[in-house]
Amino acid sequence: MTLTLDEANRVAEGAMEHARSIDILVCVAVCDAGGRLIAFQRMDGAMWAAVYGSQGKAAASAAFGWPSGDLTERADHPTFRGIVAADGGRMILGRGAVPIVRDGQVIGACGVGGGTGEEDEDCARVGVARIE
């Protein structure tokens, strides 16, 4: 079961529409179950650091199948630190991404960066709802 480019683009558009509705500028990354980028959007004026934040949070959410914010408390655990290091340090265990699950299987994740953690996660949830 895979996440298509069309679905990934719909997720990204939904996340950006929500960002516009709450007046924030974000970057949105949608990845497959292995954390590989499928679609990416950077709103005009969004901070450059959000490029990395959105992708890192999406990769973490896909890897563990949880919202990335649920990983924050575990970030200092040796196992989680080891997994992040083994993956090259690209995963970010902070709030702002949610997994995309179909028929009980993680098929990807949407990560957002540019707002607060809560705003980012809300945008990601709205985006993922576009394909549920």
Q: Give the CATH number, domain containing residue 109.
A: 3.30.450.150
Residue owning tokens 């549920």: 132
Q: Which amino acid is at 48?
A: W
| Per-residue confidence in pLDDT tens, the chain, 132 aa | 899 999 999 999 999 999 999 999 999 999 999 999 999 999 999 999 999 999 999 999 999 999 999 999 999 999 999 999 999 999 999 999 999 999 999 999 999 999 999 999 999 999 999 998
Query: In this structure, are residues 97 and 111 in contact, taking their beta carbons and an 8 Å threshold?
Result: yes
pTM comes to 0.96
Residue numbers of the domain that contains 26: 5-129
Number of domains in the chain: 1
Q: Where does the chain show beta strands of DSSP type E? A: 27-32, 37-42, 97-102, 105-113
